[in-house]
């Protein structure tokens, strides 16, 4: 059986991750630690013998920077790369730029937890994970899956929630199951998919 290689990577630590801020569609770059995480991801992928035919990333700097560092580590800096805002992080709306502790003081711990960890309740002016899936999944089906099915090896560098939306579909998880899935920064997830797009194997590359 022919399988199709898809690698997903959450961006390395960003400046706002470090400051405990809701980031969403805001555009901070990587911290020094984030740069090292991205370089390590490239090293792990190289050691595992992976190379790619096409790359996808979001419209945000932290994901693009992560991808550039990974591809440099693989000796594939000139790889065709598609950037699209449909792979952007979930939009946190009015929470964007706020310290998470300050948000809890303003709206209450229970309410902020609902916004962060429910599948279909968006924060004010923002997106729920369900809303994020509404833009991510059609993009995957229309743009990324056809490349995979044609035999191309694909890497996607994006964000915790845009990747959660995709993982939910790939692994057949419910909304309740996917919101509990933590994705480490700069940690490649290697999938082999069958011709129907179902997961044959999953491997987390860790140092």
Q: How far apart are CA 180 and CA 124, in angstroms?
A: 22
Residues annotated as part of the active site? 11, 89
Quickly count: other Cβ atoms within 10 Å of residue 161's Cβ: 25
Q: Hey, how many other C-beta atoms are within 10 angstroms of the C-beta on 32?
A: 11
Q: Are 17 and 89 in contact, with CB atoms under 8 Å apart?
A: no
Three-class secondary structure of residue 158 per DSSP: strand
Name the residue among 76, 8, 66, 59 with its Cα closest to residue 37: 66
Token pair, residue 18, equals 């470090």
Q: Please choose, from the candidates 17, 57, 69, 43, the residue with its C-alpha nearest in 3D space to the C-alpha of residue 183.
A: 17
């Amino acid at each position: 059986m022919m399988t199709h290689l898809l690698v997903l990577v959450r961006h390395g630590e960003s400046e706002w991750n470090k400051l405990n801020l809701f980031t969403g569609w805001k555009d901070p770059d990587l911290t020094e630690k984030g740069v090292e995480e991205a370089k390590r991801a490239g090293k792990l992928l190289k050691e595992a013998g992976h190379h790619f035919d096409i790359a996808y990333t979001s419209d945000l700097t932290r994901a693009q920077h992560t991808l550039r560092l990974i591809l440099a580590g693989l000796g594939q800096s000139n790889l065709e790369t598609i950037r699209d805002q449909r792979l952007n992080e979930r939009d946190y709306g009015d929470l964007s730029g706020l310290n998470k502790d300050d948000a809890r003081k303003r709206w209450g711990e229970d309410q902020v937890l609902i916004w962060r960890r429910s599948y279909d309740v968006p924060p004010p002016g923002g997106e729920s994970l369900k809303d994020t899936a509404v833009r991510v999944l059609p993009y995957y089906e229309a743009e990324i899956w056809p490349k995979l099915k044609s035999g191309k090896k694909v890497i996607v560098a994006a964000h915790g929630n845009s990747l959660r939306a995709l993982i939910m579909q790939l692994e057949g998880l419910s909304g309740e199951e996917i919101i509990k899935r933590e994705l480490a920064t700069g940690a490649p997830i290697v999938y082999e998919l069958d011709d129907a797009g179902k997961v044959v194997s999953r491997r987390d590359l860790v140092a």
